């Protein structure tokens, strides 16, 4: 009887221990962190720094944020335990920057918390700033400039003056872009330097200068027999086609001109093909064959 009671006690103890071990094996779901932003909203003057402290009841929580700004500049996405960014109003009325902050801990993300910063405009007039895209430009003579003018201050207008050196076609003007056809007056590059003034609400901003460089059209020399073709053929095709040789003489302009079609045909054959030229020599380079073709397209000039 005692043996049975002892066995039953051991079995009961085993069940209790097994039950406890299963409870301990049950995974505890992670706790999502909660972000606390202090202050929850803020109003600052243009040109000053935000001061938002980020915290959570869970130790080791990290924070990241995105931001949407309206009528404000200077806000950007980031991470850390505080948000310190210099914000500026871009108009005569207040703007906002709304930060969306996400806490994370042990691989678990908490709910997004939003904080809105209201940025008051400066007490004085807001000076417009001109943005020119591109900030410099190089074009060929006879083509148009392509300069886009913009500003972060809504309603900004632009005017410009210009100083041109070795160039014609540039003129003072107004608008949101500069598109003017410029041409060089000589054989070297010239410049047109535009000085652009932004204006908004009766206030002018600082001048911005942009230089456009205008290149002349490259002069491509024509291929001539005397300068280009005779030296090529008399060097590559001797002794057969020079004075004293048995075949038509490529050191003679008239003969070479009359035979150029045949010459081009034969120099473009493979060295193993019948009629390949130069006979017993190496195939002319692609550049030299192109030179012969250009002589034809340029009009088979002698000099």
Contact assessment for residue 263 and residue 275, using Cβ atoms and an 8 Å cutoff = no
Tokens matching residue 15: 């069940």
pLDDT attached to residue 233: 84
pLDDT in tens, the chain (303 residues): 555 554 545 655 555 555 555 555 555 678 899 999 999 999 999 889 999 999 998 999 999 999 999 989 899 999 999 999 999 888 778 999 999 999 999 999 999 999 999 999 877 777 888 999 999 999 999 999 999 999 978 889 999 999 999 999 999 999 999 999 999 998 899 999 999 999 998 889 999 999 999 999 876 789 999 999 999 888 888 777 666 666 777 788 998 999 999 999 999 999 889 988 888 888 989 999 999 999 999 999 999
CA distances, 84 to each of 36, 79, 115, 298 (Å): 16, 11, 13, 69
Question: pLDDT value at position 187?
Answer: 87
CATH code linked to domain 131-215: 2.60.40
Question: Fold match between 36-120 and 131-215?
Answer: yes
- Residue 292 near residue 229, CB atoms below 8 Å: yes
Taking the domain 36-120, which CATH number applies?
2.60.40.10
Mapping DSSP onto H, E and C, the string for 50-72 reads: CCEEEECCCCCCEEEEEEEEECE
Could you tell me the residue ranges of all domains in the chain? 36-120, 131-215, 225-297
Q: What is the pLDDT of residue 244?
A: 65
User: 21 by DSSP, 3-state: which?
Assistant: helix
Phi, psi of 132, rounded to the nearest 5 degrees: -110, 130
* Residues 291 and 224 sit within 8 Å (Cβ to Cβ): no
Element (H, E) at 190: strand 190-200
């Amino acid at each position: 009887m005692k043996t049975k009671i002892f066995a039953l006690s051991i079995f009961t103890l085993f069940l209790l221990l097994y039950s406890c071990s299963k409870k301990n094996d049950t995974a505890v779901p992670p706790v999502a962190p909660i972000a606390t932003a202090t202050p929850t909203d803020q109003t600052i003057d243009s040109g000053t720094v935000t001061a938002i402290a980020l915290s959570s009841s869970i130790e080791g929580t990290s924070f990241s944020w995105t931001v949407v700004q309206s009528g404000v500049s200077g806000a950007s996405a980031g991470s850390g335990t505080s948000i310190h960014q210099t914000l500026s109003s871009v108009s005569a009325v207040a703007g906002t920057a709304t930060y969306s902050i996400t806490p994370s801990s042990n691989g678990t993300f908490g709910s997004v918390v939003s904080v809105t910063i209201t940025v008051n405009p400066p007490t004085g007039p807001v000076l417009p700033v001109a943005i020119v895209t591109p900030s410099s430009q190089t074009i060929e003579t006879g083509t148009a400039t392509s300069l886009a003018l913009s500003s972060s201050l809504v309603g900004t207008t632009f005017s410009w003056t210009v100083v041109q050196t070795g160039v014609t076609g540039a003129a003072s003007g107004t608008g949101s872009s500069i598109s003017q056809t410029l041409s060089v007056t000589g054989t070297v590059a010239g410049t047109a330097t535009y000085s652009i003034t932004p204006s908004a609400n009766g206030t002018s901003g600082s001048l911005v200068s942009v230089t456009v460089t205008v290149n002349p059209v490259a002069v491509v020399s024509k291929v001539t027999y005397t300068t280009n073709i005779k030296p090529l053929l008399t060097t590559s095709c001797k002794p057969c086609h020079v004075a004293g040789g048995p075949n038509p003489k490529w050191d003679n302009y008239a003969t070479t001109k009359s035979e150029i079609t045949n010459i081009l045909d034969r120099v473009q054959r493979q060295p193993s093909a019948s009629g390949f030229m130069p006979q017993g020599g190496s195939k002319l380079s692609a550049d030299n064959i192109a030179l012969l073709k250009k002589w034809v397209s340029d009009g088979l000039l002698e000099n």
